[in-house]
Amino acid sequence: MSERAPAIVIIGSGFAGLGMAIQLKKSGFHDFVILEKSNALGGTWYDNTYPGCACDVPSHMYSFSFDLNPGWTRMFAPQPEIRAYMERVADKHAIRPHLRFGSHVEAMEYDDAAKRWNVSLADGTVFTPKAVVSGIGALHIPSYPDLPGIEKFQGTVFHSAEWNHDYDLTGKRVAVIGTGASAIQFVPKIAKQVDHLALFQRTPPWIQPKPDVSIPAPVRSAFQRVPGAARAFRAGIYWGLEARAVGFTIDPRLSGPMESLARRHIKRQIADPELRAKVTPDYTIGCKRVLLSNDYYPALTRDNVDVQTSGVREVRENSVIAADGTEYEVDAIIYGTGFKVTDALAEQRIVGRDGRKIQEAWANGIEAYRGTSVPGFPNLFLLLGPNTGLGHNSVVFMIEVQIQHVLSCLRLVQESGADAIEPKPEALRAFNDKLHKRLRKAVWSEGGCQSWYLDDSGVNRTLWPGHTFEFWAGTRKAREEDYTLTY
Ligand SMILES: Cc1cc2nc3c(=O)[nH]c(=O)nc-3n(C[C@H](O)[C@H](O)[C@H](O)COP(=O)(O)OP(=O)(O)OC[C@H]3O[C@@H](n4cnc5c(N)ncnc54)[C@H](O)[C@@H]3O)c2cc1C
């Protein structure tokens, strides 16, 4: 293998990059490198270390199908366990020699004459692979709210994805901005520790009870010893989660029982009618990601926690002023404001054939054939690309389907002796028109909420509009007639 001119460059070492690397090796492709800007693998599960960080899809499903882990200690494993699993899987498949940490990809340009990509790193190094698989992650770049006056604030400020573990929150007065998936995990943990917590909520999430139990040693041992037990358990979880897609994608009225469950959860855990009203959403369940928690609502009932719904008017040297005029003196501000989702892809510096920038291809919004490839960008594959995210099941499933798709594209190139493969514009058009037609009827468009699933024009560029088995059926094997091969 030539170090700077491998056949394939993978960007990122989260579930996507790691899974791609493993499957390449299994399929006999060994000439690849993984460029990772961090100093460790794991992506999401390396970056996010906030108190209470855990997955919200059961771990037996939120893991690779080809490397089941019978040893998960809980239904929803905490972050250190998921990260350890990924490290173990990387070792098992001897992925480490392929990893190049501290390698921040800044730009990619296709050289049509050489039929190779120029992949440029921040330190000036250029790799020239034939193919690039991007696994840069969708929930990766922290999103910061624009708080008037924040530059004057004298205290400590950090984002949940960049948790400041050197800052001891004990006895501190804290403002938390945002009530999304991360906030509902860390708020109950820090509420016990801080002197006072002002929680700024813009839109309340729908929250259901979290069926999170520890998995006793005898059960773990049975998963290990009884052939098929762990796989059968995973299959049960898979179909249970798929049932949720019916309400989200076919008719939101079918989610009625889910909404009743969430309403009962509020009633059971919060006695105060005023607080109940504040945390009860006014949009259809599923429109924003449905969250799971048993300790979030009880945390909000604590005497030292205030839920503030009027928004932030201004930040001063030592306080946050709410839009209703209430002033909270605070020592720290923690952002639980999530990630820049569609921008993460749209801001990439990628130049395809004939000097065409990806932003030109995406002038009307980001899109990719099967969520994976874009006409005019040969041998470039986007894992967890446009409209491959999920509101109801594990995205590791989607990543694995895309990996099979990439492998089948690479085989088409190899077997035909071609140099490059790219989707036909008409294949992308047909795929995307159908996808967006379905999305227009789905709860994310019709449910009466604003969410990170939608781009600036209100179009859903994030989620797959149906069951995951539909994506599997249409995607795992590339259809030659939908692609152009160049020689
Ligand atoms: C706290 C949290 C909990 C979550 N829980 C769930 C869950 O329960 N179920 C679920 O389905 N999903 C969940 N998600 C979504 C989660 O992001 C995905 O499940 C999954 O981890 C995505 O994997 P990935 O490899 O695509 O991206 P990531 O894990 O984000 O990895 C991307 C990698 O690419 C690297 N990278 C990015 N840009 C560059 C560059 N320019 N050059 C070099 N390297 C680069 C990054 O450093 C990172 O290591 C969660 C997300 C968060 C933040």
Residue 87 CA to ligand 1 center (angstroms) comes to 15
Say which CATH class 150-212+224-335 falls into: alpha beta
Question: Which among 18, 35, 41, 44 is the best mutation to test ligand 1's pocket, defined by most ligand atoms within 8 Å of the CB?
Answer: 44
pLDDT of residue 374: 97
Query: Does residue 2 have a pLDDT over 60?
Result: no
Question: For 225-230, what is the mean pLDDT?
Answer: 94
- In this structure, the number of other CB atoms found within 10 A of the CB of residue 93 comes to 18
pLDDT in tens, 309-349: 999 999 999 999 999 999 999 999 999 999 987 666 777 89
Q: What is the pTM of this model?
A: 0.95
Distance CA 246, CA 461 (A): 20
Query: Does residue 265 have a pLDDT over 70?
Result: yes
pLDDT of residue 288: 86
Query: Does residue 174 have a pLDDT over 80?
Result: yes
pLDDT of residue 439: 85
pLDDT of residue 169: 98
pLDDT of residue 343: 67
Question: For 154-158, what is the mean pLDDT?
Answer: 98
Assess whether the C-beta atom of 135 lies below 6 angstroms from ligand 1: yes
204 touches 180 (CB < 8 A): no
- In this structure, the number of other CB atoms found within 10 A of the CB of residue 229 comes to 15
Assess whether the C-beta atom of 212 lies below 6 angstroms from ligand 1: no
Assess whether the C-beta atom of 11 lies below 6 angstroms from ligand 1: yes
Query: What SS3 class is residue 117?
Result: strand
Assess whether the C-beta atom of 334 lies below 6 angstroms from ligand 1: no
Domain boundaries, the chain: 8-141+340-486, 150-212+224-335
Residue 15 CA to ligand 1 center (angstroms) comes to 7
Output 92-96 pairs: Cβ under 8 A, ≥24 positions apart: 92/67, 93/21, 93/22, 93/25, 93/26, 94/25, 95/18, 95/21, 95/22, 95/25, 95/34
Architecture, CATH, for domain 8-141+340-486 = 3-Layer(bba) Sandwich (3.50)
Distance CA 238, CA 61 (A): 7
Query: Does residue 443 have a pLDDT over 80?
Result: no
Q: Which residue has the higher pLDDT, 425 or 252?
A: 425
Query: Does residue 292 have a pLDDT over 60?
Result: yes
Distance CA 265, CA 262 (A): 5
Assess whether the C-beta atom of 398 lies below 6 angstroms from ligand 1: no
Question: For 89-100, what is the mean pLDDT?
Answer: 98
pLDDT in tens, 376-394: 999 999 999 999 999 899 9
Question: For 352-375, what is the mean pLDDT?
Answer: 95
Question: For 11-37, what is the mean pLDDT?
Answer: 97
Residue 44 CA to ligand 1 center (angstroms) comes to 4
pLDDT in tens, 37-62: 999 999 999 999 999 999 999 999 99
Assess whether the C-beta atom of 137 lies below 6 angstroms from ligand 1: yes
Distance CA 318, CA 157 (A): 12
**Is there a common fold for 8-141+340-486 and 150-212+224-335?**
yes
Assess whether the C-beta atom of 357 lies below 6 angstroms from ligand 1: no
What is the average pLDDT value for the chain, to the nearest integer? 94
pLDDT of residue 451: 76
